[in-house]
């Protein structure tokens, strides 16, 4: 029984699918390097890595509780633990609360500014699952939630959140819009049938061009933010590497097939890794 329950809880937090927390991790770690003007130290590196995993896992618990009635009508999500009844709503919420408290305990080892901003991050994370009921582009809300590690990183390093942090957040928000629209394209038919609002539905046939424009905006914002901070050659190589992946994703999503869109979404963490790697290498080679 214990082994079965453990397996269900791990399934609930998507333990076997690390792409989700990697999408959160790379922008947060890149922000740490930028805020610290180089290596941020092992303490903050550990806090943000573990905190990202914990908060993403807690978010999955809240999301599955909020979407349990919708998920039963979508083939891809019908067997999720809460939707299928294998894990109760109470169990999922308790698990989510424990994970969030563990993440908060990590934040308590930083400073008062980061602690204050963590409450805003939590509020946005809780609000997102309900945004798809009322907002035509709920991916924008997710974009803020999935980018909030950036101002948190600056707060933890500098005890303030400068304009640069919000510029980087904006650039990352465009990236989230790109990959989560690809994700929404997978379930577009089911979402139309059950009445969920998504960017894929709102954009219609403009979905693919907008996704590509968001990729371009992400790379442009990152390059402009990093200009003068790291060597221009590193910026160029990084933009080419990440841009090549975006072009590849275009070949996967242009016909809007479920398999192609889902594959593009699952591989997006490599785009984030490219920008993180470029940031780290740039500071090393200055």
pTM of the model: 0.93
What does the pLDDT read at residue 236?
97
Whole-number Å distance between alpha carbons of 68 and 152: 30
Q: How far is CA 285 from CA 224, 243, 278, in A?
A: 18, 22, 10
SS3 227: strand
Residue 194 is predicted with a pLDDT of 81
Domains of the chain: 2-284 (1.10.357.140)
Q: Write down the pLDDT at residue 130.
A: 81
98 Cβ contact partners less than 8 Å away, ≥ 6 residues apart:
none
Count of CA atoms in the C-beta half-sphere (13 A) of 248: 13
Report residues of the chain scoring pLDDT below 70.
none
Contact call for residues 175 and 218 (beta carbons, < 8 A): yes
pLDDT at 164: 98
Residues 6+ apart with CB under 8 A from 57: 13, 14, 15, 21, 96, 99
How many C-beta neighbours within 10 Å does residue 18 have? Answer: 13
| DSSP alpha helix (H) spans, the chain | 2-12, 19-36, 42-66, 68-71, 89-107, 112-131, 138-145, 149-158, 163-186, 188-194, 199-203, 207-226, 232-253, 258-266, 269-284
CA–CA dist 197, 216 (Å, integer): 25
Structure confidence at residue 83 (pLDDT): 87
């Amino acid at each position: 029984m214990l082994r079965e329950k453990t397996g269900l809880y791990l399934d609930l937090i998507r333990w076997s699918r690390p792409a989700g927390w990697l999408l959160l991790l790379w922008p947060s770690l890149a922000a740490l390097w930028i805020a610290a003007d180089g290596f941020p130290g092992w303490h903050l590196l550990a806090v943000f890595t573990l905190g990202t995993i914990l908060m993403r896992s807690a978010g999955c618990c809240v999301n599955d509780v909020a979407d349990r009635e919708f998920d039963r009508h979508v083939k891809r999500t019908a067997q999720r633990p809460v939707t299928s009844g294998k894990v109760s709503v109470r169990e999922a919420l308790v698990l989510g609360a424990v994970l969030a408290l563990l993440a908060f305990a990590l934040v308590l080892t930083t400073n008062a500014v980061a602690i204050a901003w963590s409450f805003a991050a939590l509020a946005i994370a809780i609000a997102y699952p309900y945004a798809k009921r009322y907002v035509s582009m709920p991916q924008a809300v997710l974009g803020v939630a999935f980018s909030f590690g950036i101002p948190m990183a600056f707060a933890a390093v500098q005890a303030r959140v400068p304009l640069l942090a919000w510029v980087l957040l904006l650039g990352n928000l465009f990236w989230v819009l790109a990959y989560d629209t690809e994700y929404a394209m997978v379930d577009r038919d089911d979402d139309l049938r059950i009445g969920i609002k998504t960017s894929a539905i709102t954009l219609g046939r403009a979905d693919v061009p907008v996704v590509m424009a968001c990729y371009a905006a992400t790379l442009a914002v990152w390059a402009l933010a990093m200009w003068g901070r790291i060597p221009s050659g590193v910026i160029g190589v990084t933009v080419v590497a990440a841009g090549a992946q975006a072009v590849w994703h275009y070949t996967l999503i242009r016909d809007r097939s479920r398999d192609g869109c889902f594959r593009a979404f699952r591989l997006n963490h490599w785009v984030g890794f490219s920008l993180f790697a470029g940031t780290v290498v740039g500071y090393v080679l200055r």
